[in-house]
Every structure is written in structure tokens, then in C-alpha cells.
Structure 1
Amino acid sequence: MAAQSNIKSPENFSFKPPEWQEWKQRFARYRLITKLNKEDGEIQVNSLIYHMGAEAEKILTRFKFDAEADANDYEKVLKKFDEHFVPRNNVVHERARFRRRVQKAGETVEAYVRDLYHIVNKCEYGDRDEHIRDQLIFGIQDKELSRKLQCKPNITVEKAVDMAMYSETVTHQVAAQGKAQALDEVAQKGKGKFRSGKNPHRSKREENSRGACTRCGRKHEKGDCPAKGKQCNKCKKTGHFAAVCRSKGVKEVTTARKW
């Protein structure tokens, strides 16, 4: 046998029907790179059974071949295992499943298209690419792009996929730019407050006092000062209130009244 000793053998088959196709494909690659496919049929069949596992021996004994020699024909033995593990395809069900498949929220276009190709293999359509194209256009999340693609009756599946992936990329880039711009605006506003010298902890009283009258300490229309003609209780002068009096030398003295 011309197999290369440094090539790791595939693990034994699980004997779960849904996993047969994947395991068979892995063994096919192993068979090719080890040049097992160059060996005679008997060695290839025995290698297949050995790598599948002990359960394969029991299944093999139940197979019926047209000729005794067919039991050593790799392709015919593999076909028997296909018939055993792969249930008869329900085309109507698979096509209904394909038509219901739309792009999920958060799913990339690439992942969506990859799954469409996986499902369509069981639909037995004559023109597979045409159905992939139609389902892509119908099922993508971007309905504006879907409308544009529907206006191109001769578009190929390759072109439709390219446009969908390009649109997705641009959408992500624009969203990232918008986020960056918003963060920059917030940063600029913060810098503006710092440069203006505004103190965010300044009391409301201090803010309200800006622009107040120096005679009464309040805000009012020009000429309407309530302190006009009034006597200050602190310095006894007229024209302002004690709350804004700037006099330092006069103090109010109160004495207890004697009875």
C-alpha cells in the first residue's frame, strides 16, 4: 500500500446518517492524498470498512450484490453505503425549505449564500444558479437593494452576490464612520466647555447673579431698580440695599431696651 505514514487517518464514522456525506468526503480526500485509490479494489474496500469502524462489518454482511466480485468493487460498495445511510430525497419538501430560506438578522450575505448552495443541492433544479439568484434577491434583509436587483432581469448570480456583499460592506463602513463622528463631536463639546472656563459645578445662585443690578442685586429693566430712593440699613445712604452695600466702616448697633 502506497499510503503516506504521516497522513492522519479520519476518525471512525459515527454511524449517524446525517453525518455520512461529510465523513465520506473526508475519507475521499484521505484516499486521494495517500494514493489508496491506486490500490486494487479489495484493499480499498477493506480500508473503507476498517476506517468506518466495527459496525460497518455488520452492515456490509446485509448488502446484496449482483455478482460476487462486486463485493470488492470500491465504487459499488460505497454506493451500497449511500443507499443505506442517505434516505430517499423528498424533493417537494427540500424545495419548500429552499423557498422559505431568507437572510436572518445579523447573518452575513456570504453565510446566507453558502447555505442556499447547500440546500439547493437537494432540490434537483435544472438551473441551480438561477434559483440561487432569485432566492438571494427575494430573501436578503436589504429591501432597497432587493428592489434594485429586481430591476435587472438579466443579472447573473455572481453579479447579484457581488452587489449584495459590496452593499453590506459599504453599510458597515458608513455605520462605523457615523459612530466615529459622534464620538468626535462629544469630545469637541467637552473641549469647548473646558476652554470657555465654565464650571459645571457652579451653583445656580452664581449663574443667576450674572448681570444683576449692583444697587439691588436683582435683574430688572433699565430704570426700574427697586432700590431707587430707598435707604440702606447698613450705611444709611439712599439708592441701594444692604445686601449689595460696599461700606466697611459703618456697623449697625442694637441695644437692649430698658423698661
Structure 2
Amino acid sequence: MAAFVLQPPGDPAVPWDRWLTSFEDYLLALGQSGLADAQKCALLRHCLGQEGQRIFATLTLSDDKYATAVAALKSHFSTGRSRRMHRFEFRRRAQQSGETVAQYVSALCELTRHCDFGALKDGLIVDQLIEKTSCNQLRERLLLEPDTMTLADALAIGKQVETVLMEARHFVRAVHAPVTSSAASERTTEMEIRISAVERI
């Protein structure tokens, strides 16, 4: 079995839910998701690292099942924050300087993990994108769309607007760049020769 390096879970290093997803993806990729509970628990403890193993040893488990071990670790690493606090963090998250629309939407999706938005999740992410994007052109463009616009639609529009704005900036720079063509250089050299000849007379 290939060696697996996974940073131990913790706060703020790697949130437990994300760590567990990575671990279970690892088991699945190895084709080991059907292992016996004792083997899965052994792999789990190994990947937790030394500090994680120390914490695991302090937990009181009712049995040696993998699901029980995961539940105990989840309880230990739980932040204890309420759903309302997670929703507050989601609502105040604005697009940061230099952050692309795709990166911003990805961050919003991550923040919804504990918000329990249910079927409203995608619509609320779109609303947050419209309200807290740093690009006024994108906000105006999204507000023109019908209510049937999906998150995928909004993301596609965001990427399109970003591309157009980037190309426009490059075009403006090219238009205002100093002329350095060979023809211009030749004219300058010819003028310098004439001036030099005049000065010698």
C-alpha cells in the first residue's frame, strides 16, 4: 500500500470534515473502502499523526467500530459554533482583492457546509455573489438576469465578465504604449543625422 501523507486535523490547520473527506477519498482510491472496521480504524489512527493518535487514545469509545471512532473524533474536533454563527460568516464573506469569481464561489460553497441551507443553497450563493462581488460590472450584469439563473449560469457569466475586462485592460495598455516600431526608429535616426549635418555647417 502506498504511503499516505495527510496533515493532521485541527483548527485552523484542516477542518475535521474536510480532513475526513480526504481520508475516505484515499481509502476509496486505494480500493480499500470495504476493509474490516479494525483495519479502517488502524489506518485512521495512522493518518491522524502523533498528536491525533494522542487525542484518539483519550477518547472513550463504546465499541471498536469505524463509525464510532469517526463520531468520537467529530465530536472532539467540533468547533461548537452554532448554525447561526456559520450563516453569519457566510453572509459577511466578500470577494477579496485579487480573488477570481471561481475562487470566491468556491469559498462560499465551503462556508455553506454547516449552514444547513438545503435546497436554497445555490440561490443564496448567487445572492451573496451579487451583493458582495468586488466587480460592479458583474453585479450589474447578474442583476439583469431572470430569477431562473442558476449558480452555474452565474459562474459562467462571472468568468465571461472577468475575461472581457482583462482583455480590455490589455487592449488599453497596448493602445497607450509608446511607439517603438522599426519605422519610427529609422525616422528618428534619419532626423538625428540631419540635425548633426546642420550643426556642422
Q: TM-score, normalised by structure 2?
A: 0.80
Match of 2:123 in 1: 130
Matching residue of 2:99: 107
Any conservation in 2 of the 1:49–1:57 contact (CA below 8 Å)?
no
Q: Is the 8 A contact 1:10 1:27 kept in 2?
A: no
Deviation per CA, 1:118-149: give whole Å up to 9, x if none. Answer: 11222221311011110111122221331232
Corresponding residue pairs, total: 193
Please identify the structure whose Cα radius of gyration is greater: 1
Whole-Å Cα distance in 2 between the matches of residues 164 and 16 of structure 1? 34
Query: Which structure has greater helix proportion?
Result: 2
The superposition leaves residues 80-132 of structure 1 with CA deviations (integer Å, 9 ceiling, x where unpaired) of: 11011122232222222212222122221111111111112222213110111
Identify the match of residue 46 of structure 1 among 42, 46, 55.
Answer: 42
Q: CA deviation at 1:199?
A: 3.6
Q: Indicate conservation of the 8 Å contact 1:10/1:26, yes or no.
A: no
Q: Give the alignment's Cα RMSD to 1 decimal.
A: 3.0
**Is contact 1:103–1:112 with CA below 8 Å preserved after alignment?**
yes
What is the CA–CA distance in structure 1 between the aligned matches of 2:68 and 2:193, rounded to whole Å?
84
Q: Is the 8 A contact 1:101 1:116 kept in 2?
A: yes
> 2:141 matched to 1:148?
yes
Q: Which residue of 1 aligns with 2:67?
A: 75
Divergent runs of 4+, >6 A: none
Distance apart, 1:54 and its partner CA: 4.6
Q: Where does the alignment leave 5 or more consecutive residues of structure 1 unmatched?
A: 66-70, 207-259
Identity percentage over the alignment?
A: 24
Letter in 2 for 1:144: Q
- Structure 2 residue 59 is matched with structure 1 residue 62: yes
Structure 2 CA distance, aligned partners of 1:157 and 1:201? 66
| Higher relative contact order, chain-length normalized (CA < 8 Å, sep 6+) | 2
Residues of 2 paired with 1:131 and 1:170: CA distance? 26
